[in-house]
Structure 1
């Protein structure tokens, strides 16, 4: 069984992962280690602190006991605020600490879009606009055109974690744009793994969510990605 270890900051939607593991009935292990948080705030200075090397190294040392085949820094904003090079450095540090290949949610979004051959996207962001702008720049550097962005100004991850499925679906529908080939939902603090198919049905196109691409990238690092039910277009065929 493949084990994808997850470094997850604080408490908001970390239960998305064990719930998925249970639904997949042993197809994959998704152990979660909670990394330390200074201030729970979608603010650039707080996010730079959230993703600093010392916090990730401490979590990685704990996660090593799970003997993961791959490790993901399951945090979008705490990776994209560092820019593409900074995000790669984060992943390299985690990989060295655990002794397994590693990546992050921000990198996973770019790689998932490349895998699907999609270049134009809309973003349904929970973050304030200035923070969401960092994600736009990260995607642009990876070759993606952002045709529309909806930002909802939610400051804390804890609040994002309380959003109900119908609220997430409404956010995605509101963010859609005729030119967008896919819609991205970038916050790992948002519960999405149980509703990816519903999100795609609501807009009639691929929807990539933070927790979904995190699992996908971890599996890709470990080997061929299996076709998994209920996880949208990204998992729709043997890869």
Structure 2
């Protein structure tokens, strides 16, 4: 059994994680909910959401769960700090938890590389300014963003009400012929139940926040052999012979 510990902000789409557990063999994903403060996709609120004290509060519970890695299961509460600030955030988390650590933002970077994409489209629920910060984060990682669609949603609570049809609409609207993958960066959005439909609609890998978060935790725990045909191209790929996963934040 491989145990990936998650620090998840508030309560929105955490139901995606038991679904992932059910589709993977020998994977346990305990969740500790962090205090989000104000529920707002606004830069000042997002900076506070990912503050060190908020993340540190849940690390002891994750250690007691037997976690082998820990992931800050939040995209906007990571990339809003910028490339260097996001690295500092997970370095602090790793020290506090005493475990390999990462965040959903870095999970996207590593997942894009895993599926062999260089150019991507971004299908974000966020307002324009927050979406632009995610684009800059990806570009700092050497990923070309050919298009970005901002949904303009201000709160995670509203995002959590979206059904598969709205998710599909957003992904289709963001996709461009030059994109080799479509990224959906919000852990408040339910996506795990419709990954095959999303990929079929655009004919390319679709990487979503809750999906890449678990994959990143497994990568850190050096458990890269967990596969499912229901979790998109990211989990359907075969491990390349001799490949050794890098650590987030390096």
Interval of TM-score (by shorter of Structure 1 and Structure 2): over 0.9
Offset at residue 121 of structure 1 (A):
0.7
Match of 1:146 in 2: 145
- Indicate the larger mover: 229-238 or 104-113: 229-238
State how 1:214-233 maps to structure 2 within 5 Å: 214-225=213-224, 226-233=226-233
Match of 1:32 in 2: 31
The answer to whether 1:198 aligns with 2:232 is no
Structure 1: state its 5+ residue gaps: none
Determine the C-alpha separation between the residues in 2 that align with 1:115 and 1:205.
14
Q: Deviations over 1:40-72 (max 9, x none)?
A: 000000000000000000021222211201110
* Aligned 8 A contact 1:20 1:194 in 2: no
Match of 1:20 in 2: 20
Determine the C-alpha separation between the residues in 2 that align with 1:238 and 1:180.
22
Determine the C-alpha separation between the residues in 1 that align with 2:58 and 2:171.
32
Determine the C-alpha separation between the residues in 1 that align with 2:235 and 2:119.
20
Match of 1:4 in 2: 4
Offset at residue 80 of structure 1 (A):
0.2
Determine the C-alpha separation between the residues in 2 that align with 1:143 and 1:111.
11
Match of 2:136 in 1: 137
SS at match of 2:70: strand
* Aligned 8 A contact 1:80 1:135 in 2: yes
Determine the C-alpha separation between the residues in 1 that align with 2:31 and 2:84.
25
Match of 1:156 in 2: 155
The answer to whether 1:122 aligns with 2:121 is yes
Determine the C-alpha separation between the residues in 2 that align with 1:74 and 1:181.
24
Change (3 A) 1:204 1:8: same
SS at match of 2:41: coil
Match of 2:245 in 1: none
Q: Count residues in correspondence.
A: 238
